[in-house]
Amino acid sequence: MNRLKKYLCAILSIIMVITAIPVATATASAQTETYSSELSELEECIYSAYKNMDKIIYVYSYSATYSDVMTAIDNVLNKRTDVFYVSKYVENCNISDGFVTTITPIYLFTLEEIEAAKSAINASVNSLISDLDSSMTDVQKLLLLHDRMILDIAYNDDAIENDTLTESDYTIYGAFVNKKGICEAYAKAFKYCADLLGIENEIIPFSTMNHMWNQVKIDGEWYNVDVTYDDELTSDLFAHVEHKYFLFSDTVASNKGYREGYSTNGATDTTYDSKAFWLNSLSSVFMAGDVFVYSLRNGKICTHDFETNTSITIVSLTSSDRWKAPGTNGSYPYYYMRPIYYNGYIYYNLPKSICTIRPDGTGKSIIYTYSVDDRQIYGLGYNYGVPGYTVRTGSNSADDIIPLSQTTRILKAINVTTNPTKSVYMKGEALDTSGMVVTASYSDGSTFNLIDTDYTISAFDSSTVGSKSLTVSYGSKTCALELSVVDYGDIDMDYAWTSADMLKLQQHFFGITSLSDMEFTLADIDKNGVLDSTDILTLQTKILGIF
C-alpha cells in the first residue's frame, strides 16, 4: 500500500506540472543527462536537506520546474549515495507559476534506524576495502573491490520475478546490509567504495536500457565497470567471478549490446579490452599475502606481478581433474574451482579433494579427500569469515557448506626430522636454522615438510652457556629443538672449565691425540688459529678462577 501511495503521489505531481506549465517544458529528454561529481546549487540544497532530514525542502529561489527538481533528486541520489535513507519519490511537490516551491521528501528510516544502518554499512564496507592501501595502484584496488562485491552481493532475481522489490534494493543499504539488490544498488555501492578509496568515478544511468553501471578515471583515462553484469552467473561466496565488464571501453560496450546514446565521460582507451590477465579468470582475484592470485578456465592457478605484467602458473590441473557431474561420464566446460588464501596457503579443490600450495608455488599437498557421498567439491570461500568448502550434485544445485575445520585430515604432530647444520653455538652467536627440516604429520598417515615461514621458533638466548631447548610451533602443535651454547676453553662441552679440558688440550699440544674441528675451535682461546702455550696458560687461569 505504501508503495502504491508513492506512485500515486508521483503521478499526481506530474499532473500538477502538466496543468501548470507549458507542455514543451514538462517533456523530459529521452537521454539521461551527464552527471558530474559536483553538485549544482539546487542539488546542494536538496542534499543538505536530506542530511538534516528536513520535512520540507524550500526550492522556490532556484526557479526550477518539476522536471528540473526530479532530475536534481536523481543526481543527488546517484552522486551522494550516503543518503540511502531517502526515497527516490516525493510525497508532495508544490508548484506555483510553473516552478516548484517546496518538496516534501519521503524518508525510509527513522533517525535512530539511520545510525544503526550506517554502522552496519561501515562494517560491510570495511570488510571489502580496509586492506586496500596506498601501496596499491587504482587498478589493483578496483579489481579487488569488483571481485569482492560479486562474492558479497547477490542480484535479487526473486524480487524482480515476484514483483517484491523494495526501495532498499536500489540503495547501498540493500547491497551492503541485505547483501542483495539490482543494478542501481551495485552501481551505488561501487561508487560509495570508490569514493572512499579516492578514485574519481561516476554512476552511468541509462533509462533506455533500464540499467546503471559505473565509469572510473585511472591515470587520466575513463573506463566502464559493470559489476552487475559480471555477477549474472553468481549468487554466493563459492561461485565463479566474471571479468568481462571490468575496465572496458565504450567500443566494447557497443559490441556487448549497450545501446548508443548513454552519457559517457569518453571511455575511449582500449588498454584493458583484450589483453588484461583477468579476462579469462574463472574465480575472484585475491591477495595471498602480497601476491595477486587468480584461476583460469583451463584449470590453472596463477600469480600475477603488476610491475612486470607477467603471470606465473603454480597449479595446472589435468583433464582427469575436470569437474564432472556425479554418475555421468560427461564433463562441464570449465573447471569448477574457487581457491582462497588461508593460514599462509592457497587452498583449491579437485572434484573430490582439497589441496594446498604456497603462493611461491612450493609445498603442494592434498590435505583432504571427500568420500561422504557422490557429491563433488565446487569451490572454497569464506562464509561469514569462516573458511570452508561447498559440495554440490551439479553445477546449479544447492550448496552444502562445510567448514574446513570439519575435514577428517587432522594435524597430529610436528617433529624436527633433520637437525640444523649448526647445533652448537659460542656465547653471543645468533640462531641459524639452515638445514633444518620440520615435518607435519596428519591423521591419515600423510606427512608434509614445512618451510621456515610456516612455523615459528621461540627466542634463543645465547648469552649464557648450557643446553637450550627451543619450541617450534605450527598450528596447534609444538616440538622441541635442542641446541647447546658453550664458551672457549670448554673443550668437552660440559658447560664448565675443568682439568678434563686441560688434559685434552695438552694431549693435542704434545701430539698424543688430536682434537676434532669443533674441539680445536673451543681450545683456540685466543682465536689465532693455532694451539700454543698461550691457550694452555689462559685455560689454566680459567680453571683456577683467576680471570
Domain boundaries, the chain: 2-108, 130-402, 411-485, 499-544
pLDDT tens-digit profile of 105-130? Answer: 999 999 999 999 999 999 999 999 99
Length of the chain: 547
| Cα-based distances in Å from 235 to 150, 280, 291, 337, 534 | 8, 19, 26, 15, 81
For 411-485, CATH number? Answer: 2.60.40.3630
Cα–Cα distance measured from residue 155 to residue 179, given in angstroms and rounded to the nearest whole number: 9
Around Cβ 484, how many Cβ atoms within 10 Å? 15
Q: Is 314 helix (H, G, I), strand (E, B) or coil?
A: strand
Low-confidence ranges of the chain (pLDDT < 50): 1-36
pLDDT for the residue 235: 55
Can you read off the three cell numbers belonging to residue 505? 688440550
Are 486 and 522 contacting, i.e. CB atoms less than 8 angstroms apart? yes
Helix (H) or strand (E) holding 317: none
Q: Which residues contact 528 (CB under 8 A, 6 or more apart)?
A: none
Are 503 and 491 contacting, i.e. CB atoms less than 8 angstroms apart? no
pLDDT for the residue 18: 31
Q: Which residues contact 223 (CB under 8 A, 6 or more apart)?
A: 215, 216, 217, 247, 248, 249, 267, 269, 272
pLDDT tens-digit profile of 329-365? Answer: 555 555 677 899 998 899 998 888 898 999 999 888 8
Among residues 43, 55, 169, 62, the alpha carbon closest in space to that of 106 is found at 55
Backbone torsions φ then ψ of 403, nearest 5 degrees: -60, 145
Can you read off the three cell numbers belonging to residue 356? 594446498
Task: Please identify which residue in the block is written with the cell numbers 595446472.
Answer: 316
Q: Is the pTM of this model over 0.85?
A: no
Do β-strands 477-486 and 424-426 pair in parallel, antiparallel, or remain unpaired?
Answer: parallel
